[in-house]
Structure 1
Amino acid sequence: MRLVAAEIDLQALAFNLARTKEIAPHSKVMAVLKANAYGHGLVKIAQHLQEADAFAVARIDEALALRAGGLTKPIVLLEGFFHHTDLPILLANNFQTIIHDESQLLALEQAQLDAPIATWLKVDTGMHRLGIEPSRFAEFYQRLKACKNAKPQVNLMTHFACADDLQDSKTNEQLQQFQTLVAAQQEALCLANSAGILGWPQAHGDWVRPGLMLYGVSPMVGGRAAQHGLKPVMRLTTKVIAIRKIATGEKVGYGSRWQSPCDTHLAVIAVGYGDGYPRHAKAGTPVMIAGRRYGIVGSVSMDMITVDIGDNAAGIAIGDSVEMWGPDLPVEEIAECAGTIPYELLCNVTPRVSYEYIKG
Structure 2
Amino acid sequence: MIPRVTATVDLGCIQHNLQVVRGMAPRSRVMAAVKADAYGHGAVPVARALEAAGVDALAVACLEEAMELRQAHVVTPIALLEGVISGEEAAQAVYERLQIVVHDHWQLALLEALPDSAQLSLWFKLDSGMHRLGFPLADVPKLVEVLRRHPNWKLEGWMTHLACADEPENDFTPLQIARFDAALQGIPGPRSIANSAGIIAWPSARRDWVRPGLALYGCSPLPARSAADLDLRPAMALDSRLIAVREFAAGERVGYGGAYVCPERMPIGVVAVGYADGIHRAFANGTPMVVAGCRVPLAGRVSMDMITVDLRAVPQAAVGDPVRLWGPGLAAEEVAAYAGTLAYELFCGLTQRVHYRHLPGSQAASGLRSARGGY
User: TM class by shorter-chain length?
Assistant: over 0.9
Matching of residues 16-95 of structure 1 within 5 Å: 16-50=17-51, 51-95=54-98
For residue 124 of structure 2, what is the amino acid of its counterpart? L
1:13-48 residue CA offsets vs partner (Å, 9 max, x unmatched): 110011111111000010100000000001011010
Question: Aligned equivalents of 1:105 and 1:284: distance in 2?
Answer: 51
Unmatched runs of 5 consecutive residues or more in structure 1: none
Matching of residues 306-325 of structure 1 within 5 Å: 306-310=308-312, 312-313=314-315, 315-325=316-326
CA root-mean-square deviation: 1.3
Question: Aligned equivalents of 1:230 and 1:166: distance in 2?
Answer: 19
Give the deviation of 1:312 after TM superposition. 4.4
- Structure 1 equivalent of residue 273 of structure 2: 271
Question: Aligned equivalents of 2:81 and 2:308: distance in 1?
Answer: 41
Contact 2:165 2:173 survives alignment (8 Å):
yes
For residue 118 of structure 1, what is the amino acid of its counterpart? S
1:235 match: secondary structure = strand
280-289 vs 180-189, which moves further: 180-189
For residue 354 of structure 1, what is the amino acid of its counterpart? H
Identity of aligned residues (%): 42
2:31 match: secondary structure = strand
Question: Aligned equivalents of 1:10 and 1:312: distance in 2?
Answer: 32
Question: Aligned equivalents of 2:338 and 2:220: distance in 1?
Answer: 16
Residue number among 165, 178, 190 corresponding to 1:163 in the alignment: 165
Instruction: Give the ranges of 4+ consecutive aligned residues of structure 1 lying more than 4 Å apart after TM superposition.
Output: none
Contact 2:291 2:314 survives alignment (8 Å):
no
Give the deviation of 1:311 after TM superposition. 6.9
Unmatched runs of 5 consecutive residues or more in structure 2: 362-375
Give the deviation of 1:141 after TM superposition. 2.4
Give the TM-score normalised by structure 2. Answer: 0.93
Question: Aligned equivalents of 1:241 and 1:85: distance in 2?
Answer: 51
Question: Aligned equivalents of 1:276 and 1:222: distance in 2?
Answer: 26
1:131-165 residue CA offsets vs partner (Å, 9 max, x unmatched): 011111111222133225622x3510000000001
Residue number among 122, 131, 137 corresponding to 2:140 in the alignment: 137
Give the deviation of 1:222 after TM superposition. 4.1
Is the counterpart of residue 335 in structure 1 residue 336 in structure 2? yes
Question: Aligned equivalents of 1:114 and 1:68: distance in 2?
Answer: 25
Residue number among 218, 233, 236 corresponding to 1:234 in the alignment: 236
1:273 match: secondary structure = coil
- Structure 2 equivalent of residue 114 of structure 1: 117
Give the deviation of 1:3 after TM superposition. 1.3
Question: Aligned equivalents of 2:164 and 2:213: distance in 1?
Answer: 16
Residue number among 177, 180, 191 corresponding to 1:178 in the alignment: 180
- Count of residue pairs brought into register by the alignment: 358
